[in-house]
Amino acid sequence: MSTAAAATASAVTTSTLATGKSQDRNLTSLVFLGALWFSLFFGVVVLFALIVDTAISGADRFDKELFTQYTQSFDPERAEALAATGRDPKDLSAAYTGFKSGIVGSVILMITTALMAIPLGVAAAVYLEEFSSKTSRFSRIVEVNLQNLAAVPAVIYGMLAASLMAAVGAERGIAIGGAVALSLLILPVVIITTREALRSVPDEIRQGSLALGATVWQTTWRQTLPSAVPGIATGTILGLSRAIGEAAPLVMIGFGAINFAPELPYITSKIEAFPLEIYDAAQSSREIVRQAASAGIIVLLAMILGMNALAIIIRNKFQRSW
Amino acid sequence: MNSTTIRRALVPGVAALALLLTACGGEDDKGDDNTDGGTGSGDYSLDTTVEGEVAVDGSSTVYPMTTAAQELMTADGSAIQVSVGQSGTGGGFEVFCAGETDISDASRPIKDDEEAPICADNGIEYTELLVATDALTVVVNPELDIDCLTVDELIALLKPGSKATNWQDINPEFPDEEITGFIPGTDSGTYDYMASEVVDGDAEEPALRNDFESSEDDNVLVTGVAGTQGAVGFFGYTYFEENTDKVKALEIDGGSGCVAPSAETAQDGSYSPLARPLFIYVNNASYNDNAAVKEFTDYYIANLETIAAGAAFIPLNETDYAATQAALAGIGS
């Protein structure tokens, strides 16, 4: 009997602690609790209000034209009048403007960025974590610089990539230029998260592998890296979902408005990026175009949330515990 | 509607549209004998077989005009790939003079002392084409009981270091209201024009007073002026036209009486000194060697009035349009 009572008592204590409902109901603790709740909900409420407001203002434009039409800026009445000249008002009127070039462009940009940033970032992290001596001066300098690079504003990477592209004589506004800027932007994030993932693989696994006669390279390639995949994938996707929303570096690269489909090979084709197109539409003098911008924001948000969800799924699916 | 009917409807259609647009622009009909569009409403036969790329960059003010040209040409079936950037007039000239773009949008003429020599050093020859007119519009909160400002009053209001905080500081006859200002950001061509052409032209670095709120987004300026008592601001005519119910445009007295900003007063030059020209600069070599650049430029100029109307710009008057056509014809020779 007494053990059951003790168990109940401990369960009660645990549950009250967990919910923050202690017996201690004096003023200070209530104020403190209030402050905690406020902090918790402040960001969430603001974000929620922002999303709802944007969704409402873009409500009229969640149609297929948003995805199938290029940017169109003609005054709707003028566009109707132009029908007399045999042109289709639907191809001109701002009321049917869409983000086709931006969505296509951002997908190309993300794939190119991933292809550049992931191998580079993972390789750098593997070297730092598995091969370099942790105490050497060189490692420490690299370490500090990585942390600093992660905090550099995105537009700086844009300028760097722009001068890089100019130095090799590449055309302005092509996909590879934007991908270089975005890769540089997310590289520190990829390296740091990959290192965390590698660090969380227990040393016993490495030692076991080495003890069985594997070389350091074999150990890394066959044991450590596969075990770290969930962490690496999560970090990389989060990095990419940061990159997809970036506009500033792409302005520096010279991305402009286009209304044609990119051609193979996509990396040297001129493209437009989704966030830039939204920024443009949001500054329009026409209410109807600003509504399309709101709808575009929600679509971009959905893309980012989708990528984050993918990161969570990958993490949960491949997570192991030792 | 099958294609023959479309073609049959085309000829009277173009003529009717030319008349319609001319009527909308409110011009006096000097060009009666010229019903195919005296200021560029498109009798140009687009060659849809031309392919190629055209790189455009420059002023964000002219940007909507050039993208409208791009959209219209694509709607007409052209496969030419036009990309239009908006890194600002200065940024545009930088890449234009490096030979990286074919056409540069500009909300002011190229600077003879700074930019033109770079073009010359790089062997870039270009032609300036006037494509539209903009009327910088000074707006106030609709509640404010002021209708007209002289240029001197405008200078007193906007000059750097101005101490005017009440409308009565500018003119004792003005209402006793506090002044709140909403003006474009220092990077914009609109700010540049107001500072260098109107307010502070003699200074080495023309500027405006710095205690007014500023934003690069004209919609923010509209909201600010509409929502604040006694507020004043200025921006391009397009943004005023879309917000006539929210803000009130002031008439400007440039020495010969109060003139309201409008398509007509900007076209005939009476809205002075706030009417400003908008240009495109065409690289002569690109125009002559690249069929896509030639086709796009020719199409742009031929359809200038349609494009200007569609993108809510003020079309050129007939004299200016004829000058632009002549300049265009001069590139090829």
Q: Give the pLDDT of residue B217.
A: 85
The alpha carbon of residue A142 and the mean position of all alpha carbons in its chain are separated, in whole angstroms, by 24
State which residue of chain B sits closest to A76, comparing Cα positions. B310
Q: Give the pLDDT of residue B185.
A: 86
Span B319-323, average pLDDT: 90
- Say whether pLDDT at A240 is over 60: yes
Total number of residues shown for chain A: 322
Does B104 lie in the same domain as B156?
Answer: no
How high is the mean pLDDT of chain A?
87
- Say whether pLDDT at A116 is over 90: yes
Chain A residues touching B243 at Cβ < 8 A? 285
Span A169-186, average pLDDT: 90
Q: Could you say which of B226, B260, B294 is where a domain stops?
A: B260
Q: Give the pLDDT of residue A252.
A: 86
Burial zone of B145 (CB within 10 Å; 0-12 exposed, 13-18 middle, 19+ buried):
exposed
Nearest to B185 by CA among B217, B161, B156, B163: B217
- Say whether pLDDT at B300 is over 90: yes
Does B211 lie in the same domain as B234?
Answer: yes
- Say whether pLDDT at B4 is over 50: no
Does B217 lie in the same domain as B166?
Answer: yes
| Amino acid found at B153 | E
Q: Give the pLDDT of residue A9.
A: 58
Span B292-296, average pLDDT: 93
Do the domain assignments include residue B220?
Answer: yes
State which residue of chain B sits closest to A101, comparing Cα positions. B83
- Say whether pLDDT at A65 is over 60: yes
Which residues are CB-contacts of B218 (< 8 A; sequence separation ≥ 6)?
Answer: A283, A285, B184, B235, B236, B239
SS3 B228: coil
Q: Give the pLDDT of residue A5.
A: 60
Q: Give the pLDDT of residue B21.
A: 44
Does B167 lie in the same domain as B129?
Answer: no
Residues paired with residue A317 on neighbouring β-strands, in sequence order: none
Do the domain assignments include residue B270?
Answer: no
Q: Give the pLDDT of residue B77.
A: 87
Name which of A58-72, A278-292, B22-36 the model is least confident about: B22-36
Q: What is the pLDDT of residues B5-18, one digit of tens each?
A: 444 444 444 444 44
Q: Could you say which of B199, B231, B260 is where a domain stops?
A: B260
Span A54-75, average pLDDT: 89
Does B238 lie in the same domain as B151?
Answer: yes
Span A42-57, average pLDDT: 92
Does B177 lie in the same domain as B247?
Answer: yes
Does B176 lie in the same domain as B75?
Answer: no
Range of the domain at B169: 137-260
Span B212-216, average pLDDT: 89
State which residue of chain A sits closest to B236, comparing Cα positions. A285
Q: Give the pLDDT of residue B25.
A: 40
Residue A88: pLDDT band (50, 70, 90) is confident
Contact state of A259 with B82 under an 8 Å Cβ cutoff: yes
Span B189-204, average pLDDT: 85
Q: Give the pLDDT of residue B206.
A: 85
The alpha carbon of residue A2 and the mean position of all alpha carbons in its chain are separated, in whole angstroms, by 55
What the block records as the tokens of B16 is 């009717």
Do the domain assignments include residue B13?
Answer: no
The interface pTM score, or ipTM, of the predicted complex is 0.78
Residue A6: pLDDT band (50, 70, 90) is low
Q: Which residues of B57-74 are buried (b: 16+ CB within 10 A; e: fewer)?
A: bbbbbbbbbbbbbbbbbb
Do the domain assignments include residue B265?
Answer: no
- Say whether pLDDT at A284 is over 60: yes
Interface of B with A in 234-263 (CB under 8 A): 238-239, 241-243
Does B119 lie in the same domain as B56?
Answer: yes
Do the domain assignments include residue B168?
Answer: yes
**Higher confidence at residue A295 or residue B45?**
A295
Q: Give the pLDDT of residue A251.
A: 87
Contact state of B9 with A287 under an 8 Å Cβ cutoff: no
- Say whether pLDDT at A120 is over 80: yes
What the block records as the tokens of B325 is 């056509």
Contact B237, B138 (CB under 8 A): no
What the block records as the tokens of A157 is 């990477």
Do the domain assignments include residue B11?
Answer: no
Q: What is the pLDDT of residues B80-111, one digit of tens each?
A: 999 998 888 888 999 899 998 999 999 888 98
Q: Give the pLDDT of residue A27.
A: 87
Q: Which residues of B271-295 are buried (b: 16+ CB within 10 A; e: fewer)?
A: bebbbbbbbbbbbbbbbeebebbbb
- Say whether pLDDT at A24 is over 80: no
Does B109 lie in the same domain as B203?
Answer: no
- High-pLDDT (> 90) share of chain A, %: 46
How high is the mean pLDDT of chain B?
84
Domain CATH code at residue B68: 3.40.190.10
How far apart are the CA of B240 and the nearest CA of chain A, in angstroms?
Answer: 9
- High-pLDDT (> 70) share of chain A, %: 92
| Count: domains in chain B | 2
Does B145 lie in the same domain as B180?
Answer: yes
Q: Give the pLDDT of residue A125.
A: 93
- Say whether pLDDT at B20 is over 80: no
Angle between helix axes A100-126 and A175-199 (nearest 10 degrees) is 40
Q: Could you say which of B260, B291, B321 is where a domain stops?
A: B260
Do the domain assignments include residue B267?
Answer: no
Contact state of B219 with A257 under an 8 Å Cβ cutoff: no
Does B124 lie in the same domain as B173?
Answer: no
- Say whether pLDDT at A276 is over 70: yes
Contact state of A259 with B76 under an 8 Å Cβ cutoff: no
Do the domain assignments include residue B316?
Answer: yes
Name which of A222-226, B40-44, B149-153, B216-220 the model is least confident about: B40-44
Q: Which domains does chain A have, with CATH numbers?
A: 99-318 (1.10.3720.10)
How far apart are the CA of A80 and the nearest CA of chain B, in angstroms?
Answer: 10
Q: Give the pLDDT of residue B18.
A: 45
Does B141 lie in the same domain as B129?
Answer: no
∠ CA A303-B86-A240, rounded to 5°: 25
Contact B293, B102 (CB under 8 A): yes
Q: Return d(Cα A170, Cα A166) in angstroms, integer.
A: 6
Nearest to B92 by CA among B279, B313, B330: B279
Contact state of A84 with B17 under an 8 Å Cβ cutoff: yes
Q: Give the pLDDT of residue B249.
A: 93
Q: Give the pLDDT of residue A221.
A: 92
Q: Give the pLDDT of residue A4.
A: 60
- Say whether pLDDT at A279 is over 70: yes
Q: Give the pLDDT of residue A52.
A: 94
Span A73-78, average pLDDT: 85
Q: Return d(Cα B306, Cα B19) in angstroms, integer.
A: 12
- Say whether pLDDT at A296 is over 80: yes
Contact state of B16 with A73 under an 8 Å Cβ cutoff: no
- Say whether pLDDT at A18 is over 70: no
